[in-house]
A = this chain, B = another copy of it.
Amino acid sequence: MNAPNLTQAEQQEYQQRMERKSIQMAILQFSRLTQQCFEPCVEDFTSKTLGSREEACLTKCFEKFHNGQTRIAQRFQENMAVITNNGQGGF
């Protein structure tokens, strides 16, 4: 898929649109992360406040995902660069 040519004005407009989309995506990613950590970390419903063990688990879970995501994003970009240079096209 060849990227379409944009005029300068269109580029600016699209830039703004992209920013909004990225924010939107980040928010949804955050809410997915909340669920992904909630499910393994919170299993006791005899109380309605988080216990200290649950809080520690959520914190470590957040860090683990944050670190994992950062690493995956780096490798993703490196691999995509190789694939694109090999002329196999992106998606």
Contact = CB atoms under 8 A, between A and B. Distances in A.
A89 to B, nearest CB: 13
Interface of A: 27, 31, 91
A27 B27 CA distance: 23
Lowest 2 CB-CB distances: which A-B pairs, in order?
A27-B91, A31-B91
A23 B10 CA distance: 23
Contacts of A27: 91
A43 to B, nearest CB: 18
Contacts of A31: 91
Nearest to A27: B91
Contacts of A91: 27, 31
A91 B31 CA distance: 9
A27 B91 CA distance: 9
